[in-house]
Structure 1
Amino acid sequence: MAPPDDEPLLPDVTVPPRCCSARFNLAVLMFFGIAVVYGLRVNLSVAMVAMANASEPATPGFNGSATPACPLPPGSENRSRTVEQPDGTPQYPWDAETQGWLLGAFFFGYLCTQIPGGYLAGRYGGSLFLGLGVLCTAVLTVLTPLAAEWGPAWLFALRALEGLGEGVTFPAMMSMWARWAPPLERSRLISLSGNGGNFGAFLAMPLTGYICQSLGWPAVFYICGGAGCLWAAFWFLLVSDDPRTHRRISQEERDYIVGALGEQGSGHGWSVPLASMVTSVPLWAIVLTQMCSNWSFYTQLTSLPTYMSNTLHFDLKSNGFLSALPYLAAWLCATSAGFLADHLIEKKVLGVTAVRKLFTLTGMLLPAAFLLAAAYSGCSHVLTILFFTLTSAAGGSSGAGVFMNQIDIAPRYAGFLLGITNTFGTIPGVMAPIVTGYFTEDQSLEGWRKVFWVSAAVNVAAAIFYTLFGSGEVQAWAVPDREDRTEEDKRTRSVSA
Structure 2
Amino acid sequence: MFSSWTVCCGRVRQRWVFAVMGCLAITVSYANRICLSLAITQMVTTAESSSNSTTDGETCSGTLSASSNSASSDTYDWDEYTQGIILSSFYWGYIVSQVPGGIMADKFGGKYTLSAGVLSSTMFTLLTPLVVNKFDSTGLIILRILMGLGEGTTFPALNVLIAEWAPPQERSKIGTMVMTGTQVGTILGNALSGILLEYSPIGWPLVFYFFGGLSALWLVTWILFFHSNPDVHPYISEAEKKYIQDKISENTRKHTQPIPWRHMVTSFPLWALLIGKFGHDWGFYTMVTDLPKYMSNVLKFSITSNGLLTALPYLAMWILSNICSIPADWLIKSGKMTTTNVRKAFTTFGSVGPAIFLVAASYGECNRVLVVILFIIGVGLMGPFYPGLMVNGVDLSPNYSGTLMALMIATGSLAGIVTPYVVGVLTPNQTVTEWRMVFWITFAVFMATNVGVLFWQDGEIQYWNDLENRENDPKDVESEATAAKNLKNLRTKAVT
TM over 0.5: yes
2: CA distance, partners of 1:335 / 1:267: 31
Question: 2:157 — aligned with what?
Answer: 172
2:381 aligned counterpart, secondary structure: helix
Give the AA of the match of 1:72.
S
Question: 2:96 — aligned with what?
Answer: 112
- Taking a change above 3 Å as real, the CA distance of residues 374 and 58 of structure 1, as seen in their structure-2 partners, is farther
Question: 1:491 — aligned with what?
Answer: none
User: Which of 4, 25, 30 matches 2:22?
Assistant: 30
Q: Comparing both structures, which one devotes a greater share of its residues to helix?
A: 2
Within 5 A, what are the aligned runs for 1:12-91?
A: 20-57=12-49, 69-73=58-62, 76=63, 79-83=65-69, 85=70, 87-91=71-75
User: Which of 111, 131, 142 matches 1:147?
Assistant: 131
1:408 aligned counterpart, secondary structure: helix
Question: 2:237 — aligned with what?
Answer: 250
1: CA distance, partners of 2:254 / 2:261: 16
1:69 Cα deviation from its structure 2 partner = 2.4
1:59 Cα deviation from its structure 2 partner = 5.2
1: CA distance, partners of 2:467 / 2:158: 21
- Taking a change above 3 Å as real, the CA distance of residues 286 and 71 of structure 1, as seen in their structure-2 partners, is closer
Within 5 A, what are the aligned runs for 1:242-281?
A: 242-266=229-253, 269-281=256-268
Question: 2:142 — aligned with what?
Answer: 157
1:481 Cα deviation from its structure 2 partner = 2.3
2: CA distance, partners of 1:268 / 1:468: 33
2:383 aligned counterpart, secondary structure: helix
2: CA distance, partners of 1:385 / 1:143: 36
2: CA distance, partners of 1:33 / 1:19: 23
User: Which of 290, 295, 298 matches 1:311?
Assistant: 298
Question: 2:171 — aligned with what?
Answer: 186
* Structure 2 contact 15–166 (Cα < 8 Å) conserved: yes
Question: 2:483 — aligned with what?
Answer: none
* Structure 2 contact 10–236 (Cα < 8 Å) conserved: no
1:56 Cα deviation from its structure 2 partner = 2.8
User: Which of 293, 314, 320 matches 1:333?
Assistant: 320
Within 5 A, what are the aligned runs for 1:418-429?
A: 418-429=405-416
* Structure 1 contact 60–66 (Cα < 8 Å) conserved: no
* Structure 1 contact 58–81 (Cα < 8 Å) conserved: no
Q: Deviations over 1:71-125 (max 9, x none)?
A: 332xx27x53424x2x432222222122111111211111111111111101111
Moved more, 299-308 or 467-476: 299-308
Question: 1:398 — aligned with what?
Answer: 385
1:182 Cα deviation from its structure 2 partner = 0.5
- Taking a change above 3 Å as real, the CA distance of residues 170 and 59 of structure 1, as seen in their structure-2 partners, is farther
* Structure 2 contact 106–401 (Cα < 8 Å) conserved: yes
2:384 aligned counterpart, secondary structure: helix
- Taking a change above 3 Å as real, the CA distance of residues 268 and 288 of structure 1, as seen in their structure-2 partners, is farther
* Structure 1 contact 295–429 (Cα < 8 Å) conserved: yes
* Structure 2 contact 169–333 (Cα < 8 Å) conserved: yes
1:60 Cα deviation from its structure 2 partner = 5.3
- Taking a change above 3 Å as real, the CA distance of residues 59 and 68 of structure 1, as seen in their structure-2 partners, is farther
2: CA distance, partners of 1:306 / 1:430: 17
1:393 Cα deviation from its structure 2 partner = 1.0
- Count the aligned residue pairs: 461
Give the AA of the match of 2:19.
A
CA-based RMSD of the aligned residues comes to: 2.2
2: CA distance, partners of 1:484 / 1:90: 64
Moved more, 265-274 or 173-182: 265-274
1:351 Cα deviation from its structure 2 partner = 1.1
Question: 1:372 — aligned with what?
Answer: 359
1:262 Cα deviation from its structure 2 partner = 1.7
Mark the runs of 5 or more structure 2 residues left unpaired by the alignment.
1-8, 473-496
- After TM superposition, which residue ranges in structure 1, 4 or more long, deviate above 4 angstroms? 58-61, 65-68, 482-485
1:322 Cα deviation from its structure 2 partner = 0.9
1: CA distance, partners of 2:467 / 2:102: 18
2: CA distance, partners of 1:197 / 1:191: 10
1:410 Cα deviation from its structure 2 partner = 0.9
Question: 1:494 — aligned with what?
Answer: none
1:132 aligned counterpart, secondary structure: helix
2:81 aligned with 1:97: yes
- Taking a change above 3 Å as real, the CA distance of residues 306 and 68 of structure 1, as seen in their structure-2 partners, is farther
* Structure 1 contact 125–267 (Cα < 8 Å) conserved: no
Question: 1:205 — aligned with what?
Answer: 190
1: CA distance, partners of 2:467 / 2:18: 26
* Structure 2 contact 350–383 (Cα < 8 Å) conserved: yes
1:275 Cα deviation from its structure 2 partner = 0.4
Question: 1:437 — aligned with what?
Answer: 424
1:264 Cα deviation from its structure 2 partner = 2.2
Q: Deviations over 1:167-201 (max 9, x none)?
A: 11001000111111100010000111111110111
Question: 1:241 — aligned with what?
Answer: 228
- Taking a change above 3 Å as real, the CA distance of residues 161 and 447 of structure 1, as seen in their structure-2 partners, is same
2:234 aligned counterpart, secondary structure: coil
1:294 aligned counterpart, secondary structure: helix
* Structure 2 contact 55–61 (Cα < 8 Å) conserved: no
Give the AA of the match of 1:51.
M
1: CA distance, partners of 2:255 / 2:436: 47
Give the AA of the match of 1:227.
L
* Structure 1 contact 124–267 (Cα < 8 Å) conserved: no
With the length of structure 1 as denominator, give the TM-score of the two structures: 0.89
2: CA distance, partners of 1:329 / 1:51: 30
- Taking a change above 3 Å as real, the CA distance of residues 272 and 155 of structure 1, as seen in their structure-2 partners, is same
1: CA distance, partners of 2:441 / 2:93: 28
Question: 1:474 — aligned with what?
Answer: 461
1:446 Cα deviation from its structure 2 partner = 1.7
With the length of structure 2 as denominator, give the TM-score of the two structures: 0.89
- Taking a change above 3 Å as real, the CA distance of residues 18 and 436 of structure 1, as seen in their structure-2 partners, is farther
1:441 Cα deviation from its structure 2 partner = 2.1
